[in-house]
Every structure is written in structure tokens, then in C-alpha cells.
Amino acid sequence: EAQVTQNPRYLITVTGKKLTVTCSQNMNHEYMSWYRQDPGLGLRQIYYSMNVEVTDKGDVPEGYKVSRKEKRNFPLILESPSPNQTSLYFCASSLGSGNTIYFGEGSWLTVV
């Protein structure tokens, strides 16, 4: 079954404590990206990757890092989380620019 899997799905953490949200896809997709969803703002792209070792900033990259060492994985790293990073995060992947984008189920992150 085609899947984008994110972990953890729910996390409460404290300001400044580094955390990583993992994302894995089993469809051999080249494109992967991270979005955050906030009320009234829709989904905003954080980072995207067009292939292994190729990443670039989206609309709201500040405070986040990513890496793409393998095609299937695209972890999102918050080196020093702050309360304004409390949000719902989605990982997504697609084969190409016109192809369907598959979303993970989302990760609820609360930073206190």
C-alpha cells in the first residue's frame, strides 16, 4: 500500500529541546516536502527536496532543518524548538511535478 509515514503523530516538548520528526515513503518518489498547518493560514511549505542530497527552503524555513540522505526518508529537525513552532506538520511526496502528492497523516507538535 502506498504510504507516507510520519512519526511521532503527537508530541509535547519543551522549549529548546531538539527533536526530529521522521518521514518515510514507500513509493520511490523523488519529491518530498514538509508543510505546517496553522488556523487561517492553510498549509505553508517549510522545506522541499527534489531528490537525494537536493533540498531547498520553502516559505517558512526559519527554525527548521532537513536532510535527504536516502530517497525514502526526509526527516524534519527542530534544533531548538520554540512555542511558535507549535503546529500540525505534514510530510508529502510525489513522483513528479504533475503527479499526485501523497500526504502523511500529520504530526501534532506542541512546544511549551
Partner 1 sequence: AQSVTQLGSHVSVSEGALVLLRCNYSSSVPPYLFWYVQYPNQGLQLLLKYTTGATLVKGINGFEAEFKKSETSFHLTKPSAHMSDAAEYFCAVRRATGSARQLTFGSGTQLTVLP
Q: Which of 42, 62, 69, 112 binds partner 1 (CB under 8 A)?
A: 42
DSSP of 59-75, one letter per residue?
S--TT-EE--SSTTB--
Q: Which of 50, 52, 77, 95 binds partner 1 (CB under 8 A)?
A: 50
103 binds partner 1 (CB under 8 A): yes
| Closer to partner 1 by Cβ: residue 56 or 79 | 56
Beta bridge partners of 108: 10, 88
Phi, psi for 83 (deg, rounded to 5): -55, -30
Q: Which residues bind partner 1 (CB under 8 A)?
A: 31, 33, 35, 40-45, 48, 50, 56, 58-59, 90, 92, 94, 97-98, 100-101, 103-106
